[in-house]
Amino acid sequence: METSKIKSSLEKSCKRIAPAWPLKNFVAVNPYLGFTDTSFRETARKLARRGNVKMTMPVRFYLKQIAAKVIRQEDINQAFDARGLDRVPENEFFEELDFFGKKGDLHLAKDTTLMGIAAQITNKDWSRHVIENITHWASSYFDDYITTWTTTGKKSNLFQDWKEEASHDLSNEIMGLKKFREFVKGLPEDHNTFIEQFIEPLKINDNELEEYFHTLLLKVIGWSSYVSGIDYNNKLYASETEHLKELTAILLAWENYFLQAFAEEKIKSQWYKNLHNKSEENVQAIRKLELQLLLQEAYDFAAQREMMSTLKSSKVLASPKAPKAQMIFCIDVRSEVYRRNLENVDSEIETLGFAGFFGFPVNYKPIAHEEGKNQCPVLIPSSAEVRESVKDLEAAKNRRISNHQISYGWKKFKKGAISNFGFVSPVGISFLPQLIGNSFRWSKPVTDPNTDGLEKWLKEGRELDLSGIPYEEQLGMAQGMMKNLEVKDRLAPFVLITGHGSSSVNNPHASGYDCGACGGHSGEINALTGAQILNTPEIRKDLAKAGINIPENTLFLACLHNTTTDEISILNGKAIPAERQQEVLALKQSIDKASEACRTERSERFLLTDKERKNLKNTFEAKAKDWSEIRPEWGLAGCNAFIIAPREKTRGINLKGRAFLQSYNPAKDNNFEVLEGIMTAPMVVTSWINLQYFGSTVDTYKLGAGNKTLHNVTGAFGVVEGSGGDLKIGLPLQAVHNGEEFEHQPQRLNVVIDAPTEAINAILEKHEGLKQLCDNNWIKLLHLNEKGQIDLRYTHNLSWENAKSSSGKKKEELTIA
């Protein structure tokens, strides 16, 4: 086989693996990112065949939705029509659904890898052994300073490092893999050379090589995704690596070993037999998958029908003509609940939706830290650095360094090879009061890492040192934000830039509840940066020269919305002049009332006792500091819509915390440049979030993180379930399920846009990746008319149809050939 073909297939298979980020900045990512050039339906078939990865719920789930009248017959009919299928008589259709609803999981195809064949021949689960082996090695290799017994002499090349360790590791031979160390020592040093040498004798057809590589990577989908994330991030910051290809070489090394070691068990003959029978698939499994995909389509149509009904029954309500304040929130679905309740409490406050980094993609470096945090979407690189600043900088720096040194020394003592025994016996009993306090929610909240050691200096509000951002860059960011701000020509006396973050303890996935647009961090730094820049007189003068006039009495305040407790705090309070304190106090009173209303609404999603409901503020604060709490909040569970429109068209409408809301007015968007920016950034990010929740729900154990109560943190960057197994990606079961039923409804994102379809089409045509998302059914695109109603639905290839119908495509069979 030609070297170029091997390289091309390897490249394609690696691109199929979506990146994943470590726990410290656990941002949502579309787990199907590598398949957006392929239809949703065909991807489901490929993933089922290659890795038994699910992309639909079980049949019984959809039957339950039908029984509850969530899915109606009209939705099922639309699904048939959209696929261009002849409708099946109801009795026949439901008989078949009932049949498959009683069936367990059906695998589309057998495991045709060499380790899979070896398992079938020897009746030992060698795939499981390989996964455990890779997990033990990779956990040590990628360790992020969580352990104190570290591996020395790490190599930058994954394949070489694994080879070095495996050539000395006796565990494989103890498990019965004879001469494994000798085999590993004989492998080439270069991973590309090894891949080329090993692929040749396998005699895989050119058009099946990418599938083979991808199937191997799906064996360890968690580690593959994490390594893909490292490559993705390195490429974003101009330092390309090919670690995922190196991981592929490690998996191929295992395949090579099984081919040689089990020759007497006729593994080769079975391998070559499988090569000639690739088309053999479980017919019933195919049929079941097709029915599930049809039901998923009907479930998605049900969501569209509900959205259309909700918007149709509401009137367009004008925003206040002269608001006393404007609050800019992240587009996050949790903001929808808060914005609606705030507007109900105080009609003189106008709210807006904006990407949560607010157009300030900075790298934030706290005092006494060597590395900064990228406070921006992972789609783009951060720009200049902002630093934490306080009055007595040197004293604060020494204080934090001292705190960190004491903490690190204590950790070394607890986990040292000898000292840990001394810790458990004589010292362990001293933790009894803390254990009791934590168990009964008596403990004080854990110190915010962003303020740890600096509480004394931060009482008056936080400050940032923006000297690392050149003035022209500050001005450019300010212009970018104001250009995209719908109310730039009618700013209120107070503009509250409101970032968001969450609070919880003993929660490895805590950053997953923070702001995805801020790189998996709280949005407070971006809010502070924005307020500080926009309050600068020189910036305002230069903005005026560009036609952006900020009234002299407009004051930008930075705020933080705690999405766990629904408290909103002002971060730069000392920027408020004494003569305006009373105005801000009145605003704060309205905000506090809205917070209480939000807690009341959100409480309906939790299984609370009557006692807990009596004081919801205390209840949610207790959840935030309860170390046994597995559901501190629901995050973005339930998200299924992204509305790009003026607030007037959604104001007063209860969207149930399921819709992302982007403020946008097409009448003020010359050449639709703002819309293009929204569709190429926030629309992509919201689809990532939606599809992460979707994947974590439909396949909790491969695309999700499994059971949170069984998690063990490995290397400070990820979790495994129990004592081993693959690295877990995605969200824990408890993030999408309330213990009785799914809290997240797995429905694809409905993107509702208030703009001419010609403008939308022009943007899709310009950006092929966006067009693929729509054409291949990863998102559903809908048009909002001047009355605030959905009237058109995008079908395919820049075509639209009446939203009430689904004319469908050409006729096709229900079962794929």
- Specify whether the CB–CB gap between 636 and 312 falls below 8 A: no
- The strand pairing partners of 782, in sequence order, are 752, 793
- In 3D space, the residue among 604, 606, 627, 610 whose CA is nearest the CA of residue 740 turns out to be 606
Angle formed by the axes of helices 471-484 and 524-534, nearest 10°: 100
DSSP per position, 250-310: HHHHHHHHHHHHTGGGTHHHHHHHHHTTTT---HHHHHHHHHHHHHHHHHHHHHHHHHHHH
DSSP letter assigned to residue 427: I
- Specify whether the CB–CB gap between 493 and 554 falls below 8 A: yes
**Mapping DSSP to helix (H, G, I), strand (E, B) and coil, where does residue 49 land?**
helix
d(Cα 400, Cα 406) in Å, to the nearest integer?
Answer: 10
DSSP letter assigned to residue 668: G
d(Cα 362, Cα 382) in Å, to the nearest integer?
Answer: 5
Pure H helices in 358-456: 393-415, 419-422, 432-439
Amino acid identity at 199: I
Q: Walk across the sheet containing 659-663 and list its strands.
A: 659-663, 641-645, 749-753, 779-784, 790-794, 800-802
Direct distance between the N- and C-terminal alpha carbons of the chain, in angstroms, rounded to an integer: 29
**Token pair 């501190």 is at which residue?**
632
Are β-strands 749-753 and 779-784 bridged in parallel, bridged antiparallel, or unpaired?
Answer: parallel
d(Cα 769, Cα 680) in Å, to the nearest integer?
Answer: 9
Task: Extract the runs of DSSP E, i.e. beta strands, from 324-398.
Answer: 325-330, 349-354, 362-365, 373-375, 385-389
- In 3D space, the residue among 265, 307, 280, 298 whose CA is nearest the CA of residue 114 turns out to be 265
Helix or strand (DSSP H, E) at 491: none
DSSP per position, 62-104: HHHHHHTTSS-HHHHHHHHHHTTPPPPPHHHHHHHHHHHHTS-
Classify residue 550 as left (phi > 0), alpha (psi -120 to 50) or beta.
beta
- The strand pairing partners of 497, in sequence order, are 328, 558
Is 598 known as a binding-site position?
no
Is 639 known as a binding-site position?
no
N residues, the chain: 817
Classify residue 151 as left (phi > 0), alpha (psi -120 to 50) or beta.
beta
d(Cα 722, Cα 714) in Å, to the nearest integer?
Answer: 11
Number of other CB atoms surrounding residue 35 within 10 Å: 22
C-alpha R_g of the chain: 28
Known binding-site positions: 330, 332, 500, 515
Known binding-site positions for Zn(2+): 330, 332, 500, 515
